[in-house]
Structure 1
Amino acid sequence: MALHHVTSGRDEGFDDVYSGLLSRRPLPKYRLPEGPNDPRAVHQLLRDELTLDGDASQNLATFCTTWSEPQVKELMAENMAKNMIDKDEYPQTAAIESRCVHMLADLWHSPRSRTTVGCSTTGSSEAAMLGGLALKWRWRAGREAAGKPADRPNLVCGPVQVCWEKFARYFDVELRQVPLEADATGLRAHQLREHVDDNTIGVVAILGVTYTCDYEPVAEIAAELDAIAADGGPDVPVHVDAASGGFIAPFLRPDLEWDFRLERVASINTSGHKYGLAPLGVGWIVWRTAELLPEDLVFDVDYLGGSMPTFALNFSRPGGEIIAQYYNLLRLGREGYRRVQRACADTAAHLADEISRMGPFTLLYDGRGALPAVSYTLDGDPGYSLYDLSEALRAHGWQIPAYPLPPARQDTVIHRILIRHGISRDRADLLVADIGSCVETLASGRRPERVTFHH
């Protein structure tokens, strides 16, 4: 008997996906199928099942890019087989990665943008960890050179994304998270003196706090550390986690000093697949100058066809995302990025104004001055919570996260709405209408049915 008669899912003389063998039984979930199946049937049935996912464009909880031009998709498909780590076999892809690093170094005002070092990563979390490792290695070398113990490193920060908690746990560093002050949206410079000491490897300043979307005052943080060092205290470097703001501030607030214009800023990470507008899977880390990346952290690999240096937590990964990032840098240029980010910021400010007028909300961040986003709290106790409102909005397809602020403001629950490229003014107005409808429903005492997921 021919193989396709048994396992292909196609019947002789009748070619229909939904009448074939594969579609007439549940898809395998726990055991590999015995034989191959018709690729058209597998493709269609998987597409059908994936329609049960939420609409990515309505996911206003994510910072990540959900819209790309068709040319980006074509470039990624054409370069799908290229392994980014194999720089000897794919030298032009490696050259494109290097171009991106130097363009970002220049955008962030590195004093040696053409000779400094940096690399692509799978995202800003990996990039942040690489920045943290460099801080730890430089601190340890300094302590050992001075004949001092180097076994109790700490890292000072405000409310950070979980990647920094992972870094601290994985690499044996005490994470000193400074509690949020009342009405503050992030770390404040005057809080540093009671937290930094001789064992502090660095201070992390966030350009776009995950919880509130506001920028921490990087220049003030650097100035306070200058003052601490001048008073005889430790000389502590700054790493800027610009996962989101690194592709916003240079275009919308070019006069804001947060980057390598501040001598105390040693390194910066960003996420290309957030407001860098690249598809998922690329982040960046750049050092102020090459000397700030310890040589001990760089490995020479010689079994991929040639000797090459590598510095990453991952090894093999696709090159398409790096190529897509370079496409966007060429396609948009400074003026194009400015226009895209301005459109997002204007939509966020409009959305904030509409939500503020609607009530019963108090804006925590109104979309002006930092990320294109809105965050707000619920006034008093109207008989429902922001968790209830999030659940109600899911019935309309919207994914709006509700969560508590970090210590010491964890009693405050907020909503955060992110405006990305591809979220139009019209779509924002549709969201406003649905929020109003859900508020009316909840105020009447009704509750939405819970959304269930299929496994």
Structure 2
Amino acid sequence: MIGEIVIGGIIGWVISYFLPCKETLYNIYSQLFKGITRATGIHNVIQKEIKKSTTSMGEALRIKEFENYTEIPEVGYSKEKMMELLKKYFEYDSKKIKTKHISGSFYAGNSERNEVIGEATKLFILSNPLHADNCPSVRKMEAEVIRMTANMLHGDENTRGMLTTGGTESIILSERAHYQNGIKNKGIAAEECEIIMSVNAHPAWLKGCELMHIKPIIISADKRNALDFEEVQKKINKNTILVVCSAPSYPHGVIDDIERIATYCKSVNVPVHVDACLGGFCEAWGEAAGFNVPIFDFRNEGVMSISCDTHKYGYAPKGSSVLIFRNEELRNLVFFKYPKWTGGLYCSPSIPGSRAGNNIAGAWASLLFTGKQGYIDATRGILTTSKNLKNELSKMSNIKILNDMEQDTPVVAFTTTDLNIYKVSDCMNKEFQWEFNTLQFPAAVHFCVTEKTIGCEKQFIEDLNKALDIIRKDPKNPKYNVWAPVYGMTSSLPDIDTLEDMVSQVIAQYCDVI
């Protein structure tokens, strides 16, 4: 079975790589592969293997040290018991976090700031900006977070925005605004709207396209792993409602050629959105910290909206992102209005109705406590570490850097030229407590430097060399087979339905296992 999958994958790769019309050929081959596997019974074998792997993964998720709670208790627990349980859960997670060098995920490394944010969220735990008349301070804090972020991104007095629950909501709301703009102001039919994005753009854009039935035009990356400008020029047409740029892209930490793309797009009246969800609150201070960061913000006239996560390098609590628009007219297209409801006039600025006021208070507290100098200092430490890591990795003969070496971003992306990078990554995790983010097409990993991992470069390189030696001596060691088999299957199986089913089963384990 594995042999047939591998052979099929090789044939598919050859077809898709060497012949023109790649997407059409891949779709034909995918359908052919699907038909053959179902006709021969191989599909059932594949499904059985997937079920076995995902069930095993689910078992690994179980926390056997804890009692399981599946029913609301007849009588509520005492405060003392609840605090004991919460502390037990917190310490279990904290132990894992403290002993690891984690890529991204936990961005804030200032304990005093975390204490201040903790107090802010505790004070406003029941606040809800939906009821602005009862929570006027929360409404004010939200407006101030938006204005501070807009000014950081070189907005002007016309710039407007909103606070969201995270990067995905910011992206989807940006899509909604540009979708409405295309329909109402440009006369584009709803079913014909198109968004141009790179193959490296965040999948949240595709989620929004699926929800709104927008056609995504996914184009290749150039040699820098950036959005290909020439391809953008070719793909723009009368139905294009938006071009998406990244600052930087999640996989490879590359900032697209935003100045060039935005200038061209402005000349043909197509708006540009800059997805700075990952690095916005770091890159915005890069120039002041003395680093080479391309201009990605509203100083580019063609940029009409920017998403920027406060809960990453803004060091705010999770569940906080800011979406900024160049003007009020575009921002207001996001709003949902229904004035004829029996419950009264209804209007919501974002996807949720009720929102957590304590997250707004936490973001506000983080910006004020950290201050410009605090952000500049943190950015200097992060980008220095990232730059040093890239320089050291570039000296290693069996490592290939996937970043643009001329740009300074917090993401360090690389692969190996002689070993399975996924096995190396698993070894780094199991033996040396380094947790990377796994990439594919090509197989690679990245490490996103945070405030918590500033100055890690020496230990990183030492441990990486040890991991490379371990895998080189025993490349088939099953101990380091956590992600290698999974990504091996995704690269060799051309049947998209089977791949989506596999991913769904993995997600289901995370949702269901107690």
Could you say which TM-score interval applies, normalised by the shorter chain?
0.7 to 0.9
- Partner of 1:403 in structure 2? 439
- Check conservation: 2:255, 2:294, Cα contact below 8 A: no
Percent of aligned pairs sharing the same letter: 21
Shift of 1:317: 2.6
- Partner of 1:389 in structure 2? 424
- Check conservation: 1:88, 1:308, Cα contact below 8 A: no
Q: CA RMSD in A?
A: 3.1
The alignment partner of 2:201 has SS state of coil
Give the TM-score normalised by the residue count of structure 1: 0.81
User: In the alignment, residue 247 of structure 1 is paired with which amino acid?
Assistant: F
User: In the alignment, residue 399 of structure 1 is paired with which amino acid?
Assistant: E
| CA distance in structure 1 between the partners assigned to 2:319 and 2:340 by the alignment | 25
- Partner of 2:202 in structure 1? 161
- Asked if 1:240 corresponds to 2:280, the answer is no
- Asked if 1:203 corresponds to 2:216, the answer is no
The alignment partner of 1:248 has SS state of helix
| CA distance in structure 1 between the partners assigned to 2:376 and 2:86 by the alignment | 39
- Check conservation: 1:348, 1:367, Cα contact below 8 A: no
| CA distance in structure 2 between the partners assigned to 1:433 and 1:25 by the alignment | 34
| CA distance in structure 1 between the partners assigned to 2:334 and 2:388 by the alignment | 49
- Partner of 2:459 in structure 1? 430
- Asked if 1:133 corresponds to 2:168, the answer is no
Residue correspondence of structure 1 range 83-232 to structure 2 within 5 A: 83-112=128-157, 115-144=158-187, 149-158=189-198, 159-181=200-222, 183-227=223-267, 229=268
- Asked if 1:316 corresponds to 2:354, the answer is yes
| CA distance in structure 1 between the partners assigned to 2:174 and 2:407 by the alignment | 26
The alignment partner of 2:444 has SS state of strand
Give the alignment partner of residue 378 of structure 2, picking from 340, 347, 350.
340
| CA distance in structure 2 between the partners assigned to 1:267 and 1:71 by the alignment | 31
The alignment partner of 1:201 has SS state of strand
- Check conservation: 1:65, 1:280, Cα contact below 8 A: no
Change (3 A) 1:28 1:347: same
The alignment partner of 2:323 has SS state of strand
Change (3 A) 1:397 1:437: same
The alignment partner of 2:378 has SS state of helix
User: In the alignment, residue 219 of structure 2 is paired with which amino acid?
Assistant: V
The alignment partner of 1:197 has SS state of coil
Shift of 1:373: 2.1
The alignment partner of 2:314 has SS state of coil
- Partner of 1:5 in structure 2? none
| CA distance in structure 1 between the partners assigned to 2:283 and 2:83 by the alignment | 46
**Runs of at least 5 residues in structure 1 that lack an aligned partner in the other structure:** 1-23, 230-234, 405-409
Shift of 1:180: 1.9
User: In the alignment, residue 157 of structure 1 is paired with which amino acid?
Assistant: M
Change (3 A) 1:149 1:311: same
User: In the alignment, residue 235 of structure 2 is paired with which amino acid?
Assistant: H
The alignment partner of 1:194 has SS state of helix
Shift of 1:357: 3.3
| CA distance in structure 1 between the partners assigned to 2:65 and 2:96 by the alignment | 21
Q: How many residue pairs are counted as aligned between the two chains?
A: 409
Give the alignment partner of residue 262 of structure 1, picking from 275, 288, 300.
300
Shift of 1:106: 1.7
The alignment partner of 1:110 has SS state of coil
The alignment partner of 2:129 has SS state of coil
- Asked if 1:39 corresponds to 2:82, the answer is yes
Per-residue CA deviations over 1:140-184 (Å, capped at 9, x if unaligned) read 01244xxx6443111001121111010000111001111123x23
The alignment partner of 2:170 has SS state of helix
- Partner of 1:326 in structure 2? 364
| CA distance in structure 1 between the partners assigned to 2:452 and 2:66 by the alignment | 36
User: In the alignment, residue 93 of structure 1 is paired with which amino acid?
Assistant: V
The alignment partner of 1:28 has SS state of coil
| CA distance in structure 2 between the partners assigned to 1:262 and 1:43 by the alignment | 48
Shift of 1:47: 4.0
User: In the alignment, residue 173 of structure 2 is paired with which amino acid?
Assistant: L
- Asked if 1:444 corresponds to 2:480, the answer is no
| CA distance in structure 1 between the partners assigned to 2:434 and 2:309 by the alignment | 24
- Check conservation: 1:60, 1:418, Cα contact below 8 A: yes
The alignment partner of 2:191 has SS state of coil
Per-residue CA deviations over 1:69-122 (Å, capped at 9, x if unaligned) read 22122222222222233222111111011011112222222232xx53211000
- Partner of 2:287 in structure 1? 253
Per-residue CA deviations over 1:31-78 (Å, capped at 9, x if unaligned) read 444544433543354346546755586221537546652212222222
Change (3 A) 1:370 1:63: farther
Per-residue CA deviations over 1:212-247 (Å, capped at 9, x if unaligned) read 1010011110122245x2xxxxx2111111112321
Shift of 1:390: 1.2
- Asked if 1:82 corresponds to 2:106, the answer is no
Change (3 A) 1:56 1:301: farther
- Check conservation: 1:213, 1:365, Cα contact below 8 A: yes
| CA distance in structure 2 between the partners assigned to 1:301 and 1:99 by the alignment | 28
- Check conservation: 1:206, 1:241, Cα contact below 8 A: yes
- Partner of 1:15 in structure 2? none
Shift of 1:130: 0.8
| CA distance in structure 2 between the partners assigned to 1:61 and 1:30 by the alignment | 32
| CA distance in structure 2 between the partners assigned to 1:40 and 1:105 by the alignment | 40
| CA distance in structure 1 between the partners assigned to 2:443 and 2:299 by the alignment | 36
Change (3 A) 1:398 1:344: same
Change (3 A) 1:285 1:306: farther
User: In the alignment, residue 472 of structure 2 is paired with which amino acid?
Assistant: A
Shift of 1:327: 2.1
- Check conservation: 1:63, 1:418, Cα contact below 8 A: no
| CA distance in structure 1 between the partners assigned to 2:136 and 2:96 by the alignment | 38
Shift of 1:363: 1.4
Select between 165-174 and 333-342 the one with higher mean Cα deviation: 333-342
- Check conservation: 1:188, 1:221, Cα contact below 8 A: no
Give the TM-score normalised by the residue count of structure 2: 0.72
User: In the alignment, residue 96 of structure 1 is paired with which amino acid?
Assistant: M
- Partner of 2:117 in structure 1? 72
| CA distance in structure 1 between the partners assigned to 2:262 and 2:140 by the alignment | 33
Per-residue CA deviations over 1:399-452 (Å, capped at 9, x if unaligned) read 112321xxxxx2x21110010112131x44333222122111111116362599
| CA distance in structure 2 between the partners assigned to 1:366 and 1:205 by the alignment | 16
| CA distance in structure 2 between the partners assigned to 1:431 and 1:56 by the alignment | 14
